[in-house]
């Protein structure tokens, strides 16, 4: 009897992996992975190397972020890497900038 491995590279495959709930990391292509923790519980992450170190950047929970959205986010991060920009440092800088704008608005309001 042959067993067919389910892949996370389609929406149907990702849904089947989440439903099965067996813990593991499943490649969806181009550095995008689905991490399954328990039945119905999983998250997307982007795995990349920079300066010889493997990094993992969370892209969101699988119940709120679709495969298409995760792919788009991973492509955006890959574009940053191609420009020599570290994706997580870039994200952190954007978050700091947003919180500074909010803090300034709160002081005026």
- 8 within 8 A of 33, measured Cβ to Cβ: yes
Q: What is the CATH number of domain 11-108?
A: 3.30.160.390
pTM score, two decimals? 0.83
Domain boundaries, the chain: 11-108
Alpha-carbon Rg for the chain, nearest whole angstrom, is 17
- Pairing between strand 24-29 and 32-38? antiparallel
Give residue-wise pLDDT tens across range 38-94. Answer: 999 999 999 999 989 999 999 999 999 999 999 999 999 999 999 999 999 999 998
* Per-position DSSP letters for 27-76, written without gaps between them: EEETTEEEEEEETTEEEEEEEEEETTEEEEEEEEETTTS-HHHHHHHHHH
Q: How many residues does the chain have?
A: 109
């Amino acid at each position: 009897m042959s067993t067919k491995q389910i892949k996370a590279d389609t929406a149907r495959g990702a849904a089947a992996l989440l439903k099965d709930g067996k813990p593991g990391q499943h490649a969806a292509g181009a550095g995008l992975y689905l991490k399954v923790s328990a039945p119905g519980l999983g998250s997307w992450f982007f795995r990349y190397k920079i300066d010889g170190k493997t990094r993992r950047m969370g892209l969101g929970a699988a119940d709120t972020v679709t495969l298409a959205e995760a792919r788009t986010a991973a492509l955006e991060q890959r574009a940053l890497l191609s420009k020599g920009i570290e994706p997580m440092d870039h994200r952190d800088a954007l978050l700091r900038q947003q919180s500074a704008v909010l803090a300034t608005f709160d002081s005026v309001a």
